[in-house]
Structure 1
Amino acid sequence: MSTRVTPLSLSAIEQLPTHPRRCVFWEMDPAPEGHGRDFCDPEFEKEAWLSMVMLEWGSCAQVASFGDSDDKIAGVAFYAPPNMVPRARLFPTSPVSADAILLTTMRIEPHASDLDVGADLIRAVVTDLVRRNVRALEAFGFRRQEDDRPSAGYVPSTTSVRECSPAECMIGADFLEDMGFEVVAPHPRFPRLRLELDRDHGWKEEVEAALERLIEAASLTVEDVTGRTALAVP
């Protein structure tokens, strides 16, 4: 079964599955215990964040759907400038490079686990960013450890969405490497990975080659017309 991937619109936020719609793992500063963050409305906070990023920066999520209706969502990927992602500065491998956009999280719904949704979402994100002349895409990968405890310097989530955790809300480092990302800041648990959009996808070279072909074709046409005109003159 094939999937369709489209940018998330403001009017479609309510159609997101429960976890992506309520998860604010990346979008809100983790609050110290006892400071009342557990009483926030995560769905409202997530919608406010998405609205802010879309209005100030543009598209920040790609949604994969399948079947006869876009309501059958298979997965979603979120991305944004790192200065719009509060948690981005809290990792031991921070900060994100100044020329990169941050891929924060990607959620594949259980009913779509047998589809190649992850690769489709990555391709859609890359296509969007290439059109916007972004040089690189970076992400904090997650490597599961045997004891699965956060490393020193990592601030855990204390939101009311109890299922939010690095394992649930971060992208596996192995998957990112399979997609062509390279580790630029090693860490046993939270490596930072980077995908060079102008190198791995060759978009600059393809555009330049296309322009050269157009110029060459135009030049040949002019020469041909000039030659035929010259022969017609006594």
Structure 2
Amino acid sequence: MPARITPLRLESFEQLPKHARRCVFWELDPSTLPRGDHLADPEFEKEAWLSMVMLEWGSCGQLAVECGADDAAVSTDAPCLGYAFYAPPRAVPRATLFPTAPVSADAVLLTSLGVEAPAEADGLTRQLMAAVVGDLVRRGVRALEAFGRTADAAELSDPLVVSPGLRPAVVALGDCSVEQCVIDSDFLLDAGFVVVAPDPYFPRLRLELEQGLGWKADVEAALERLLESAQLRPVGAGAASCA
């Protein structure tokens, strides 16, 4: 399925899948909300967060959309195949609640990565990662970090297992939960991240973006590393255009 990956813009918000539009797991501090997991309008909260980050910091997302077979352009109603969100840690309230916090001062935090086409998930997630890396290197960011979710984190669905200190990090908001909203640590490791703060449930991982080679070499190296780990050809013609 031909795809194009472009920076997310506010006018493309409606193209996002329902969960991506409503997910505020990272964007809201649950301790500041009334008791209970009900949010009156999570889509409004998510769009407001995106607007704030874009205004203060710039692009904070990448969107994979389906291209028409005979058209290299992407329309505003093109099906969404995947997405990625990232932001400075100061703009991500939930990031301070994890046991392996804080995120390094020189890093941007990768919060969410989702794909709507299961058959092509491996290739699309790595294309999205490559687009995130390319954007951040061009902007002079030194590193990308993320909180990973290990297989052992599945046991946290049992409230009796969750320690009081960990509870603020894992509390659900509406239909947002650890299982849906925290990136699998094995994927991050496969993509070239390394663990910088170990934890049985939520290690913090880091991908260095600046290696003294200049931004072009960094982007090329990141693309090669991510696409080689997928062991397949990119969907479509790459991140810049459609086949």
Q: Which residue of 1 aligns with 2:198?
A: 186
Quick one: structure 1 residues 38 and 205, their matched pair in 2 at CA, closer, same or farther if it must change by over 3 Å?
Answer: closer
Q: Which residue of 2 aligns with 1:25?
A: 25
Quick one: structure 1 residues 34 and 180, their matched pair in 2 at CA, closer, same or farther if it must change by over 3 Å?
Answer: same
Distance 1:204 1:97 in 2: 21
- Shifted more, 114-123 versus 141-150: the winner is 141-150
Q: Which residue of 2 aligns with 1:196?
A: 208
Alpha-carbon shift at residue 100 of structure 1 (Å): 0.1
Q: Which residue of 1 aligns with 2:71?
A: none
Q: What amino acid sits opposite 2:2 in the alignment?
A: S
Query: For 1:141-186, what per-residue CA distance to the aligned partner results, in whole angstroms no more than 9, with x for missing partners?
Result: 00122752165322233422x2x11110111100001000000000
Quick one: structure 1 residues 52 and 183, their matched pair in 2 at CA, closer, same or farther if it must change by over 3 Å?
Answer: same
| Aligned CA-pair RMSD | 2.2
Distance 1:126 1:101 in 2: 10
Give yes or no for contact 1:79–1:101 (8 Å, CA) kept in 2: yes
1:176 aligns with 2:188: yes
Alpha-carbon shift at residue 204 of structure 1 (Å): 4.9
**Structure 1 SS opposite 2:29:** coil
Q: Which residue of 1 aligns with 2:98?
A: 91
Quick one: structure 1 residues 32 and 49, their matched pair in 2 at CA, closer, same or farther if it must change by over 3 Å?
Answer: closer
The runs of 4+ residues in structure 1 deviating greater than 6 Å are: none
Q: After the TM superposition, which residues 78-117 of structure 1 pair with which residues of structure 2 at under 5 Å, given as runs?
A: 78-109=85-116, 111-115=117-121, 116-117=123-124
Distance 1:53 1:173 in 2: 25
Q: Which residue of 1 aligns with 2:6?
A: 6
Quick one: structure 1 residues 33 and 73, their matched pair in 2 at CA, closer, same or farther if it must change by over 3 Å?
Answer: closer
TM-score with structure 1 setting the length: 0.80
Q: What amino acid sits opposite 2:120 in the alignment?
A: D
Q: Which has the higher contact order (CA 8 A, sep 6+)?
A: 2
- Listed as ranges, the gaps of 5+ residues in structure 2 are 69-73, 219-243
TM-score with structure 2 setting the length: 0.77
Query: For 1:69-114, what per-residue CA distance to the aligned partner results, in whole angstroms no more than 9, with x for missing partners?
Result: 55211110000000000000000000000000000011111x3442
Quick one: structure 1 residues 147 and 190, their matched pair in 2 at CA, closer, same or farther if it must change by over 3 Å?
Answer: closer
Alpha-carbon shift at residue 203 of structure 1 (Å): 3.5
Give yes or no for contact 2:153–2:202 (8 Å, CA) kept in 1: no
Q: Which residue of 1 aligns with 2:50?
A: 50
Q: What amino acid sits opposite 2:40 in the alignment?
A: C
